[in-house]
Structure 1
Amino acid sequence: MIRFLLLSFIASLTAQLWAEEEAFRPEQGKFPPIGKAKAYRGELVFVDHVNRRGSLRLFVDGYFRERRLHHFAMLPYGMIYYRGAPADLRDVPLGTILYGEFFLPCDPKLSAVPNSKGTDPATPAENHAILLEDDLSFCLRQGKAWKLRGVDLTKESVKYS
C-alpha cells in the first residue's frame, strides 16, 4: 500500500513538472510582456529584410542540420542586435547563430508567416520574434564574460576562463 502511494505521489509530481504551460497569445494593440516569450536559438538561413521575415534552422537535440526551417516574422516593435549594437536583418550574415524570443501570432489567420501546430520541436508554433540577437549580444545582455588567459598560434588554441 505504501509503495502504491509513493509511486502515485511521484507520478503526480512528475506530471506537474512536465506539464506544458499554456502558450501565450498577445493581444492586438498591446505590448506583450517579454517574460511570456519562448526562447529559441538557431542558424539564420533565409532573410527577407524588406518585410522583416526570415528562417532559422533551430538547434534541437544537439543538431542544427537535418531539421525543417522555422519561419519567423519580426514584430513591428521587435529589436535585432548584432555584435552588441542595434541592427537590421540585412546586417546579419547568413549562417549566424541567433538567439530569439518568440510569441504566437496575435491572429493566426492574418499571420505573415506559415502557422505551425508546434508538434515538431524544430518548428514551434511561436513564430513572431520580439528579440533576435547573435551570441555576442546575448552574452552582453546576460552579463556573461570570459577572461583571455593566452593564445597559442602554433597550436591554434585559445585559453580562457
Structure 2
Amino acid sequence: MSEERTGVATIKGNPITLIGPELKIGDKAPDFTINKDLIEEAGLADYDGKIKLISVVPSLDTSVCDAQTRRFNQEAAGLGDQVAVLTISVDLPFAQSRFCSVAGIENLDTLSDYKFHSFGTSYGVLIKELQLDMRSIFILDKDNTIQYVQYLTEMTEHPDYDAALNAVKALL
C-alpha cells in the first residue's frame, strides 16, 4: 500500500489526498511504466542520457493544463536535443493525440498514466479521490537525479514556468 499524504493539496480550496511519496531535490528519480499509446509503454530508460522536464497535468481538456502544455511545447523548441520534455496526464492516449494535433504540439512527448498509475504513485501525485495526477513539475538530470521539483498546492494554479525552465537551463 502506498503512502497517503493529506493536507498538502486542494482543488478549488477543497482538500485532496495524494498517493505516493513526496520526492525532493537530490532524490534518485523512481522509474515508472507509462503509455505512449494503448499498446506501447515507456519509462525512464526511453530518455536515457537526456535532461528530463516532466510536466504533470490532471487533464489536457482543462484551461490551465492546456496553457501549461502549450507553454512547455513552445519552450521545448529552444532547449535542444539534450532535453526531453514530457507531459504526463491520465488522459487516454487517443485524447492526448487529438489534443496535440489540434494544439500543434510537436516538441514534447505526451504520456498517459491511465493504465497503471505508475508515475502518479511513484512520484506522489496520484489524487486518491479523482484518480488524476496532481499538477507538478520535475526536472531530472541525465543521471535521473531530481534537480527541481514543484508540487502545486492548488490544482487550478499555474506552475512556476520560469523557475522550471531556469533549472533545465542550469543543467545544459
The normalised TM-score by structure 1 is 0.25
Question: Bigger radius of gyration, 1 or 2?
Answer: 1
Query: Which structure shows the bigger proportion of residues in helix conformation?
Result: 2
Tell me: higher relative CO, structure 1 or 2? Use CA pairs within 8 A at least 6 residues apart: 2
